[in-house]
Structure 1
Amino acid sequence: MSDSKRLSRRELLRSAAVAGVGGLVLGGLLARQASRMVATPAQQANLAGAQMKTKVDKIRIGASLPLTGWGAGDGTEMQRGLQMAIDEVNAQGGVGGIPVELVVLDVEEMPAEKMLSNFQRLIEVEKVHAIIVGYHVSSGPEFDLVAQAKIPYMHVNTTEASAKPVRENRDKYWMIFQGDPTEVWYGIGFAAYMDQLIESGQWKPYNKKLTLITSDNPYSISIADTFKAEAEKRGWTVNIYERVVVPVADWGPTLAKIRKDPPGLIFITDYAPSDLALFTKEFVKDPTPSLLYQQYGPSIPEYLEMAGDAANGVIWSTVIGILPDSYAEPWKQRYRQKFGAEPGGANAGSLYDMTNVYLRAVAMAGDPTDTRKVCSIMENIIHRGVCGTMAFDKSDLSGRPYPEYTKDPSLGMPHLTYQIQNKKHVLVSPEPYTTGQFKLPPWLA
C-alpha cells in the first residue's frame, strides 16, 4: 500500500495522549514514525479525551451476523462482543464525545447473496463507517464492495482464502483486516502438540493410523489436508478420509468404519457444535482406542450442553480464543453480569477486541471518515485484548500465531489447545497460559 497518510511527530504525540503514555513504546516508535502502537487495558477510558476533527455526530459500525440458522450460537456471541465493547466506550463518553452506534443485519445461514445484500445495505443505506463481523462461510465477494466503499472491514474468517487477495493486492484491499491467523495453523499447531504428547510419554498412540473427518467447505478441508500432510511427515497413514455435509443427522456409518479399523487419532474439522456433540455421544458408547480431536466447535457453549459427560477427554483448539488470565477474567465477569450467560471460547472476545482496535484507531486519527488514516493506524497497532495479542502482519493484514510463527507471546496471538476435563475446558497449551495438564481420556485410561 502506498500510504499517503503517514503520521507526523505531532500526530504521534496526540495519539499517545489518546492511547495513554504506557501504551506506546515511544523510544523506538519515534525513530520509525510510530511503526507499532501498543494498546493496554487502562487506555479504554482515554477514548473520551480524543481530539476529534470530524463533523459526524455518531460513529456507526455495521455487522452482518448469523443470528438465525445453524450458526446462531456463534452469531449471538459475535453480537454480544460488539455491543459490549461499544456500550463500554459510550459509558465513558464515546470517542472524543461522539457516541458509537451498532447496526446489525442477520445473514441467516450465510449464503453469498444474503451476505452481499447485507453489505450493500450497510454501505449504501446505513452509511456505516466500518464493518466488523465474525466469519462468513461465503466470504470473498464482499471484498470488492468494501474496496469500492473504502471503509475498514474487520473479520475473523480464519482463512487463507481471505488473506490471499490482500497479500496479492495490498493497494486495492488496504482496508481489509483479518483479526486472527489463518486456518493452516490448526494443522501445523496440533501436529506440534501431538509431538509433545508423544515425546513426553503422556500419550502412546494405539497405532499410527489417522482418521480424518471434514465438512464439505474449503475451510474445513484446508485444515484436514494441512494436518494430513503434517501427520504423514511423521509417519502416520490415513485409514479413513470422510467428507460430511452439515448438519449431520446420523454418524452411524462413519463410526462403523472407525470401529472396523480403529485409528490412533480421530481428527475432526467439522466445526458445527451440534455435529460434534452428536459424534462424541455416539463414539463413547463403544469407543475405539483413539485420541479424539475436534476443531473449534467445542468452544461454543451449546456443545457442552449437548455432549455433557461424553465430552470429557476431547481435545480441541482455536487460533483465537479468550484467555484465562487476569486481563480476560474481569471481562468474563462483566459479560456474565450483562448477558446472564457464560461467554463462549472465541467469538464474543474476538469481536470485542476488534471493535476496540478500530475505535482506538479512530480516536488516534481524529475522524472516522478519514479511512486511509484509520487503516494506517490499525495496520501498526499491537493490541493486548482478551484474546491475547492482536496485530496484523503487513503482508496480508492477518494475524500470526504464537508459538508456531513467533516465540514471543507479546507479538503473536496464542494458538490455544484445550482438553475437556470434568465438563470444563482446561487449557493445556501453550505456556505461559496453561491452566492444567493433558490427561488420558476416560476411554484410554
Structure 2
Amino acid sequence: MIPRLAGCTVAAALALSTASWAQDIRIGIPTAQSSAAGVADHQDWLNGAMMAIEEINAAGGVDGRMLAAEVVDIDLLSPEGTVGAFQALDAREVHAIASAFVLIPQPAMDAAAASGVPYMHGNTQISSTRLVEENPERYRNIFMIDPDETFYGSGFIQYLDRLVETGQWEPANNRVHIVQEQIAYTQVISEAAQRAIADSGGTWELARVTDIQFPVQDWTPVINALKAEGAGVIFVSHWVAAELAAFAQQFAFDPTPDSLVYLQYGPSQPEFLDLARGAGEDMIWGTVLGTPRTEEGRAFREAYMAEHGDNMGEVYTASAYDTVMMLAEVWKSTPPEEFDAVGDAIRALRYEGISGTYTFDRPQQRPLSYPWETDELSEGMPHLVYQVQDNTHTIILPESLAESSYQTPHWAE
C-alpha cells in the first residue's frame, strides 16, 4: 500500500513536484564555498542574485513562471573544479548561468558553449572577451557584464592626472612603484598600468616592479622595498582582501611617508575593513563594476544591509541583482528554453541597472567603461575609485559620482 501524504499519494506528490520543477526557470549560480579563493565575492553575488529572484517571484515571476536558483560549489583554482561545476549545472538543465567570476575562463566558457546555455559573468578579464571576439559562433551566448581588467591599470593612471589637475593631491614625486601578484589577471592589470605610464609623456615614471606570490605570508620584504624606493605612488595589483588587510596593517606600522597607496580591487570585499582594523584608513582602491551612490544605488544598499548586515561588498552584490533582472527582462519576450533567441535578445538589450548601463552589442559582448570608452555616464559602467574615510568606503572619482574629495593620508601629514 502506498502511504498518503497531505491528501495525496507520494507518487502524486512527486509528480506534482516534478511538474513544478519543469515549469520553473532555473538560473545556475556556481558559487565558491570550499575554494581557497573567491568565497567572499561569490557569497556577495549569491546574496544579490537571491534578492532579485525573491523580488521577481513575489511579483508573480516571469509570465507566471517562478525563478529558481541552482547553486553548486566551484573550485576556482583548478580547471577540473571549474568544469565540474558547469557540468553539474548542465545536468540540472538550467536556463542560464549567472556567475560572479572564474579565474580560469576558457574551461568555463567551453563547458557553457557545449550546451549553448546563456552564460553571464563578471570575469573582468580581457582573455574572456577576446575568446568571444575571435570565436563569435562558438561563444555566441556568453556575455561579460563589466569592462575588462585593463582599465584598473590604465584608468587609474589617468585618474591620478585628475587628482593633480583638480588640486586634490600634490604628488611627492612622479614615480609609480607596482607590486604585482603572479596570476594572469593581476599581470594584465600591471602591464596596462605600465603602458599608461609609458604613454604619459613623462608625467609618470615607472619606479620599480616588485613581485609577490599568493598566498603572501609576510609583507615585510615588500614594505622594505617600498620604503627603499620612496615612490610617490604605490600600486598593489592584488585582489585578496585578507592579504591586503595584512599589508595595510604592516604598512601602517612602518609607512612610506609620502606615498599615495592604491590597493586595486580587494578592499571591495567586506572582510577587508574588519581585518584591517582601521589600518586601511586613507588607502584607495577601485572597481570597474561597483555600486554608485545614485538614488537607486542607495536604495539597494539599504535593502541589502537590512537583510545581510552593514558591511556590504561593493561589487558583486548589485551586479548580481542586475544580472538576474536582465535575464528576467529578456525572458518576458523570449522563451527561456530557446537559448540562441535569448542570446540574440541579450545582444539587443540596453539595461539601466544599479551598477550602470549594460549593453552587449559589440564583438566583445560586454558594456562600455565610463569615462574611458564613453563620456556619457548613462551609456556605460562607471569606473569607481574609493578612499577609506572614517572606516567607510567613500567614492572620490569620477567627479560626477563622488561623495567626497581625496583626503591626504594620515601617514603623510
For the residue of structure 2 that corresponds to 1:89, the secondary structure is helix
Distance 1:386 1:342, change over 3 A: farther
- Name the amino acid aligned to 2:37: W
**Displaced runs of 4+ in structure 1, greater than 6 A?**
none
Q: Counterpart in 2 of 1:354?
A: 323
Q: Counterpart in 2 of 1:21?
A: none
**TM-score (norm. length: structure 1):** 0.85
- Name the amino acid aligned to 2:75: E
Correspondence 1:168 to 2:134: yes
Q: Distance in 2 between matches of 1:205 and 1:431?
A: 19
Q: Distance in 1 between matches of 2:112 and 2:39?
A: 24
Distance 1:110 1:80, change over 3 A: farther
Q: Is the deviation greater in 65-74 or in 316-325?
A: 65-74
RMSD over aligned Cα atoms: 1.5
Unaligned runs of 5+ in 1: 1-54
Deviation, 1:238, is 2.7
For the residue of structure 2 that corresponds to 1:418, the secondary structure is strand
Per chain length, whose mean CA-contact separation is higher, i.e. which structure has more relative contact order (CA < 8 Å, sep 6+)? 1
Out of 133, 144, 153, the residue aligned to residue 178 of structure 1 is 144
Q: Distance in 1 between matches of 2:58 and 2:181?
A: 42
Deviation by residue 1:320-373 (Cα, 9 ceiling, x = unmatched): 0011121122222221232234321001111111111111101121x1011121
Cα contact 1:182–1:399 (8 A) shared by 2: no
Out of 142, 146, 170, the residue aligned to residue 112 of structure 2 is 146
Deviation, 1:232, is 2.5
Q: Counterpart in 2 of 1:65?
A: 31
Matched positions, count? 389
Distance 1:433 1:202, change over 3 A: closer
Cα contact 1:361–1:375 (8 A) shared by 2: no
Q: Give runs of aligned pairs for residues 271-282 of structure 1, distance below 5 A.
A: 271-282=239-250
Q: Counterpart in 2 of 1:127?
A: 93
Q: Counterpart in 2 of 1:250?
A: 218
Q: Counterpart in 2 of 1:268?
A: 236
Q: Is the deviation greater in 373-382 or in 411-420?
A: 373-382
Unaligned runs of 5+ in 2: 1-20
Correspondence 1:103 to 2:56: no
Out of 419, 430, 440, the residue aligned to residue 387 of structure 2 is 419
Q: Counterpart in 2 of 1:30?
A: none
Cα contact 1:382–1:411 (8 A) shared by 2: no
Q: Counterpart in 2 of 1:198?
A: 164
**TM-score (norm. length: structure 2):** 0.91
For the residue of structure 1 that corresponds to 2:139, the secondary structure is coil
Q: Distance in 1 between matches of 2:159 and 2:333?
A: 40
Cα contact 2:102–2:108 (8 A) shared by 1: no
Distance 1:340 1:246, change over 3 A: same
- Name the amino acid aligned to 1:192: Q
For the residue of structure 1 that corresponds to 2:332, the secondary structure is helix
Q: Counterpart in 1 of 2:262?
A: 293
For the residue of structure 1 that corresponds to 2:278, the secondary structure is helix
Q: Counterpart in 2 of 1:343?
A: 312
- Name the amino acid aligned to 2:100: G
Give % identity.
Answer: 32
Q: Distance in 2 between matches of 1:274 and 1:98?
A: 41
Q: Distance in 2 between matches of 1:110 and 1:62?
A: 20
For the residue of structure 2 that corresponds to 1:146, the secondary structure is helix
Q: Distance in 1 between matches of 2:244 and 2:180?
A: 11
